[in-house]
Amino acid sequence: MAVTALGTIGLLFLVLPIVALLIRSLQTRAWERMPESAIPDAIWLSFLSTSITIVLIAIFGTPLAYILTRRKFPLKRLATVLVELPIVLPPAVAGLALLITFGRRGLLGPALGEIGIALPFSFAAVVLAQTFVAAPFYIRSAQIGFHSIPIEIEEAARVDGAGGVRLFWWIIFPIARRALAAGLVLSWARALGEFGATILFAGSLQGRTQTMPLLIYNIFERDIDAAIWTGLMLVVIALVALLLSHWLARNAKEN
């Protein structure tokens, strides 16, 4: 009885705020007060930046996940922890770290400045911030997918002459593809909702760096109904992405 009661309280605590957001938006007809000039720009910027982010995560995260899964090297556990650190890192700290690394006076800033690249408060900064916070979700899912492949299958493929890209594309990828897809969907949803690192590293310039989460922050004080409706759009998108990720992950386990 006590377990049921405590579980019910926990469920209500997690679900009730979302329900309240939906109820409030319906009561106030919040969709009628959307900031028409800002929302299309924010939606386009969000989907463009997250699309590029997912491509970068797939290109660089997949080999990294495979190395962390299959290869043995010194300090491997430490490397795994550091790769996953952005998951629990405070967003403001993530943004500050990116700024100190890629800012004009940061670690790599002077070198980038010499070749005419200025990353802070640019569209590229949005992509970097999203990639930094979202990549670990894909890498963890990819590691699970690679772990599910018996090592004997890879060894047999190598004996038959497959190796490198051919081994991955024809043997590893078909088996782990659903786990990889689930990780990409989850990473995309995380990138879409990124706020803290982005506002610190990229700022919030309409049409340039202002994604949907930043738009909500900017319009909250002057038009809460518009903020509610914009937030509800993100909730629906995130819900669909999460359901898709769970479905892909479940199919990966069944197959």
Residue of higher predicted confidence among 18 and 93: 93
CB 180 within 8 Å of CB 173: yes
Looking at residue 161, its pLDDT comes to 65
Neighbours of 62 (CB within 10 A): 22
pLDDT per residue as tens digits for the range 23-82:
887 777 766 666 556 778 888 899 999 999 999 999 999 999 999 988 888 888 999 999
Looking at residue 125, its pLDDT comes to 95
- Which residues have a Cβ under 8 Å from the Cβ of 97 and sit 6 or more positions away? 89
Looking at residue 36, its pLDDT comes to 56
What is the extent of the structural domain holding 50? 34-254
Looking at residue 217, its pLDDT comes to 86
User: pLDDT band at residue 194, thresholds of 50, 70 and 90?
Assistant: very high
Domain with residue 241: its CATH number is 1.10.3720.10
Residue 14 forms part of a structural domain: no
Token couple for 197: 């690192």
User: pLDDT band at residue 94, thresholds of 50, 70 and 90?
Assistant: very high
User: pLDDT band at residue 191, thresholds of 50, 70 and 90?
Assistant: very high
- Which residues have a Cβ under 8 Å from the Cβ of 96 and sit 6 or more positions away? 200
Looking at residue 57, its pLDDT comes to 96
Residue 5 forms part of a structural domain: no
CA 70 distance to own-chain centroid? 24
SS3 assignment, position 107:
coil
Task: Report the alpha-carbon distance of residue 104 to residue 111 in Å, rounded.
Answer: 9
Residue 60 forms part of a structural domain: yes
Residue 23 forms part of a structural domain: no
Q: How many domains does the chain have?
A: 1
Single pTM value for the model: 0.87
Residue 1 forms part of a structural domain: no
Residue 116 forms part of a structural domain: yes
Q: Which residues of 36-55 are buried (b: 16+ CB within 10 A; e: fewer)?
A: eebbebbbebbeebbebbbe
Q: Which of 93, 117, 127, 133 is nearest to 202 (CA)?
A: 127
Residue 97 main-chain phi, psi, to 5 deg: -65, -40
133-159: average pLDDT: 85
pLDDT at 175 over 60: yes
Looking at residue 243, its pLDDT comes to 85
Residue 24 forms part of a structural domain: no
Residue of higher predicted confidence among 76 and 230: 76
pLDDT at 170 over 80: no
Token couple for 73: 């090297």
Average pLDDT over the chain, rounded to an integer: 86
Residue 20 forms part of a structural domain: no
Residue of higher predicted confidence among 252 and 155: 155
Token couple for 57: 């995560």
84-111: average pLDDT: 92
